[in-house]
Structure 1
Amino acid sequence: MPHTAPTRHLHRPRRTARATLAAALLLGALGWPAWASDRDHERARQAVQDGQVLPLRTVLERLEREQPGQVLEVELEQDDGVWIYEVKLLRTGGQLVKLKLDARTAALLESKARPSSR
């Protein structure tokens, strides 16, 4: 049987290092060791230092005041050169909400809610 090279998914439109960068930011902000690569962690840290991205702690504090709920997941991504925090929240009634925030200003860009399963 001839050896074939494994296929790779090369098409990833305009998004970079989402999951690993998210883990680095969230776990780093909580003081836990990050699972992300050093490169992803460095990119996130540099973006904060350069003023391109607000620190996650700042974003979460604002979010708590404006969009109450339990934060389940946070991702930082770059879409067409714009840094975006994607946040998944669980509201008190069980509603799951996905928010997209401008990572530089924490302004709400998009909100999608899924009805609660109750």
Structure 2
Amino acid sequence: MPKLPILLVIAGAVAALHVPVQADDDSRRAREGVRRGEFVPLERLLARAEREHPGEVLEVELDDGEYEIEILREDGRVVELTYDARSGRLLELEVDDDDDDD
């Protein structure tokens, strides 16, 4: 059985449970930070992340001054990018390389 459909179902369920409440709070804090000139606009980082890692954005968080963007790439792997919200600099890139079954 292919892993991708299962991953999509799990990712969708997690996103449905986690994102709506947090998204409202994160969105508000991000907008306020951008308005005050403290944060770079999330849209700019999302466009960059999606250009470099085509796929479906699963989750976006603002946590301790860092934007965390999780993308299900077209190759079926999940990538998590962490950006400094103040400078827009990429701090960390993690790729879920689930090759444990090989």
TM-score range, shorter chain: 0.5 to 0.7
Secondary structure of the residue aligned to 2:60 is strand
User: What is the CA deviation profile of residues 39-85 of structure 1, one whole-angstrom value per residue up to 9, with x for unaligned ones?
Assistant: x82x332211122112222221122223332211000011xxxx100
- CA–CA distance in 1 between the matches of 2:62 and 2:37? 15
Aligned-residue offset at 1:113? 1.2
User: 1:23 and 2:9 equivalent?
Assistant: no
User: 1:66 and 2:52 equivalent?
Assistant: yes
Letter in 2 for 1:99: L
**Segments ≥4 residues shifted beyond 6 Å:** none
| Residue of structure 1 equivalent to 2:30 | 44
Letter in 1 for 2:35: Q
- CA–CA distance in 2 between the matches of 1:44 and 1:104? 10
Identity %, equivalent residues: 41
Q: 1:55 aligns with which of 36, 41, 60?
A: 41
Aligned-residue offset at 1:20? 7.2
For structure 1, list consecutive stretches of 5 or more residues without a partner in the other structure. 1-18, 25-35
User: What is the CA deviation profile of residues 3-33 of structure 1, one whole-angstrom value per residue up to 9, with x for unaligned ones?
Assistant: xxxxxxxxxxxxxxxx678402xxxxxxxxx
Root-mean-square deviation (CA), in Å? 2.7
Secondary structure of the residue aligned to 1:111 is strand
| Residue of structure 2 equivalent to 1:87 | 69
- CA–CA distance in 2 between the matches of 1:100 and 1:110? 5
- CA–CA distance in 1 between the matches of 2:86 and 2:74? 28
Secondary structure of the residue aligned to 1:99 is strand
- CA–CA distance in 1 between the matches of 2:92 and 2:68? 9
Mapping of residues 99-118 of structure 1, within 5 Å: 99-116=81-98
Judging by fraction of residues, say which structure has more helix: 2
CA contact (8 A) 1:52 1:104 kept: yes
- CA–CA distance in 2 between the matches of 1:47 and 1:59? 15
